[in-house]
């Protein structure tokens, strides 16, 4: 197989929507850092929603982006929680996403009553070698349509990981 046609993981983004700032937000930051051994960043509210008690600019979530070996290892653990089954609705062109109801379902994570229970969303972006031409600063070009990762390519990649697509 041509190495330029091989589908690889670009990044895995883990997101926790807390919905409030303060102590609970700090606990979520510590939790996600302990799970992935990487410092997360806060996400902020784009607008004020009075009914939910959210102000614009308030820290209401936590996210972290994993690449390389860390991304592959975390993805395998997260897919184990979903029993290596995904719906075709969770898969798009070169990406797939799924949610985990409770973080304690992840292998190696123990329940701590001080922290509580948090859910998280996992999004994975796939690419082929050569996608850098669309991101680089000099001589930037579009990635041609035949070289983009399609939904079928994404499903094939998931099957190679042992994931069953329903």
How far apart CA 29 and CA 35 sit, in angstroms, is 10
Asked whether the predicted pLDDT for residue 22 surpasses 90, the reply is no
| Residue ranges with strand state E in 76-163 | 85-86, 91-92, 95-100, 120-128
pLDDT value of position 39: 93
User: What is the domain partition of the chain in residue ranges?
Assistant: 3-165
CATH superfamily of 3-165: Ribosomal protein L5 (3.30.1440.10)
Q: Stretch 7-19: mean pLDDT, rounded?
A: 90
Is there a contact between 19 and 60 (Cβ–Cβ < 8 Å)? yes
User: What pTM was computed for the model?
Assistant: 0.86
Q: What is the pLDDT of residues 106-156, one digit of tens each?
A: 887 777 777 778 888 999 999 999 889 999 999 999 999 999 999 999 999
């Amino acid at each position: 197989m041509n190495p330029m046609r091989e589908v690889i993981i670009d990044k895995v983004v883990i997101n926790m929507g807390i919905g409030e700032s303060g102590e609970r937000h700090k606990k979520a930051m510590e939790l996600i850092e302990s799970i992935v051994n990487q410092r997360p960043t806060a996400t902020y509210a784009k607008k004020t929603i009075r009914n939910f008690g959210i102000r614009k600019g308030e820290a209401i979530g936590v996210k972290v982006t994993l690449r390389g070996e860390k991304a592959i290892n975390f993805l395998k653990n997260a897919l184990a929680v979903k029993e290596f089954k995904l719906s075709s609705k969770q898969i798009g062109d070169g990406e797939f996403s799924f949610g985990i109801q409770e973080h304690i379902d992840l292998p190696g994570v123990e329940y701590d009553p001080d922290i509580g229970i948090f859910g998280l969303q996992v999004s994975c972006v796939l690419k082929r070698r050569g996608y850098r031409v669309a991101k680089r600063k000099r001589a930037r070009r579009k990635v041609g349509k035949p070289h983009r990762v399609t939904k079928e390519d994404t499903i094939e990649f998931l099957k190679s990981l042992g994931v069953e697509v329903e």
